[in-house]
């Protein structure tokens, strides 16, 4: 099958959506499918996203995108994001009466409301309400919406989604992420609490940086909040952006993985941390509560991240956590779910 994926999040960006479709595309190709991803880099006119210059938003995408789709002649179109490119792809499919699937990767209303509310606090509530209506409208014509977890599916049902909601889990590269020797952070006070991801306002990092912790806090990643947080929390250790083997080494060298976000729908870094042997500490929200399903995997708390992190250190072991990931999170299964949605709802 020739599959076209349209995503506002793609190279050179580095985030969970990008990594999801990188790994998914590799697996689909291995299974004999042809995959092309269209992202912002394929368009000449872009503007930086407000407060996040690294992310570029395409301007006037429709005509160029329509020509690209006509040239590609895909057998299926999947729209990954609700940004300008996603809107253009949605418009094309609706206009041409072409069945398509979408995914809900980000808590879009929370994300937008938090950014607008940061500049004008009174806008937080109205922005959240309008953004929720927007995502319901955006996904309504899809043949199916792919969601990562049961709690996210329940949330979207509560929001009034009528379109079929199908499971689309994630995998992990076990050749890269596995338990092993702790080779980094030897000069830091133990235990090491690690965060991996964007250094941005929606990740709620100040909860992590301010939590009661007897050891050291290490943050791996880059983003618009980095200068502010480095200045405000000089005792924290900011390691910068890491990928591949360097990232895997950071996971293995820590003692607990802390995930302060309340707005992610899954958190692929959670699975990478578990595969590397780390217990996870997080809030009891969508994403973490679907992944940390046993005390051996970590601990969740409604409001106290430090307490969750200290509790997470007490149970389980690295091999148990790695074994759990191996048997529950594979890209082969994610690819089967993806193709199944197409075959059952869009053919």
> Where in the chain are the domains?
2-171+330-345, 192-328
Q: Is 255 or 224 the better-scoring residue by pLDDT? A: 255
Rounded to the nearest 10 degrees, how much is the dihedral formed by the CA atoms of 34, 177, 206, 186? Answer: -150
Mean pLDDT of all residues in 154-180: 96
The pLDDT tens digits of the residues spanning 247-290 come to 999 999 999 999 999 988 899 999 999 999 999 999 999 999 99
Check if the beta carbon of residue 279 is closer than 8 Å to that of residue 315: yes
The pLDDT tens digits of the residues spanning 87-107 come to 999 999 999 999 999 999 988
Mean pLDDT of all residues in 285-297: 96
Q: Is the pLDDT of residue 112 over 80?
A: no
What number of residues does the chain have?
347
The CA angle 169-174-176, to the nearest 5 degrees, is 120
What CA–CA distance (Å, rounded) separates 130 from 84? 17
pLDDT for 51 equals: 65
Check if the beta carbon of residue 220 is closer than 8 Å to that of residue 237: no
What is the DSSP-derived secondary structure letter of residue 270? H
**Confidence class for position 125, pLDDT limits 50, 70, 90:** confident
For the ranges 47-61, 170-184, 210-224, 255-269, the lowest mean pLDDT is seen at: 47-61
pLDDT for 2 equals: 97
Joined tokens for residue 91: 């418009």
For the ranges 66-70, 88-92, 115-119, 150-154, the lowest mean pLDDT is seen at: 115-119
What CA–CA distance (Å, rounded) separates 258 from 270? 9
What CA–CA distance (Å, rounded) separates 275 from 134? 36
- CATH architecture of the domain with range 192-328: 3-Layer(aba) Sandwich (3.40)
Q: Is the pLDDT of residue 120 over 80?
A: no
pLDDT for 250 equals: 98
Same topology between domain 2-171+330-345 and domain 192-328: yes
CATH domain 2-171+330-345 topology:
Rossmann fold (3.40.50)
pTM of the model: 0.92
Q: Is the pLDDT of residue 24 over 90?
A: yes
pLDDT for 123 equals: 74
pLDDT for 117 equals: 64
Mean pLDDT of all residues in 222-242: 96
């Amino acid at each position: 099958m020739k599959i076209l994926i349209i995503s506002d999040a793609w190279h050179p960006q580095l985030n969970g959506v990008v990594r999801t479709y990188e790994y998914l595309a590799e697996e689909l190709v291995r299974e004999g499918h042809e995959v092309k991803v269209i992202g912002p880099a394929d368009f000449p006119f872009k503007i930086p996203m407000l407060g996040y210059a690294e992310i570029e938003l395409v301007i006037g995408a429709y005509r160029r995108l329509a020509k690209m789709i006509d040239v590609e002649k895909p057998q299926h179109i999947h729209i990954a994001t609700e940004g300008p490119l996603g809107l253009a792809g949605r418009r094309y499919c609706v206009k041409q009466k072409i069945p398509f699937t979408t995914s809900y990767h980000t808590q879009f209303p929370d994300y937008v409301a938090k950014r607008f509310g940061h500049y004008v606090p009174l806008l937080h509530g109205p922005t959240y309400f309008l953004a929720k209506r927007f995502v319901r409208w955006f996904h309504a014509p899809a043949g199916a919406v792919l969601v990562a977890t049961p709690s996210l599916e329940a949330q979207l049902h509560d929001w009034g989604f009528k379109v079929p909601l199908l499971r689309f889990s994630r995998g992990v590269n076990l050749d890269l992420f596995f338990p092993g020797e702790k080779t980094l952070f030897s000069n830091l006070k133990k235990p090491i609490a690690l965060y991996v991801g964007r250094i941005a306002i929606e990740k709620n990092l100040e909860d992590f940086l301010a939590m009661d912790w007897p050891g050291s806090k290490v943050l791996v990643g880059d983003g618009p909040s980095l200068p502010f947080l480095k200045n405000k929390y000089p005792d924290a250790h900011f390691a910068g952006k890491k990928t591949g083997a360097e990232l895997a080494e950071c996971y293995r060298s820590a003692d607990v993985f802390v995930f302060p976000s309340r707005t992610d729908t899954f958190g692929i870094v959670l699975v990478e941390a578990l595969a590397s042997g780390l217990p996870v500490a997080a809030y009891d929200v969508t994403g973490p509560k679907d992944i940390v399903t046993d005390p051996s995997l970590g601990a969740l708390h409604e409001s106290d991240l430090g307490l969750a992190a200290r509790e997470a250190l007490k149970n389980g072991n690295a091999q148990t956590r790695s074994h759990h990931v191996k048997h529950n999170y594979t890209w082969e299964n994610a690819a089967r779910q993806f193709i199944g949605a197409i075959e059952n709802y869009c053919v």
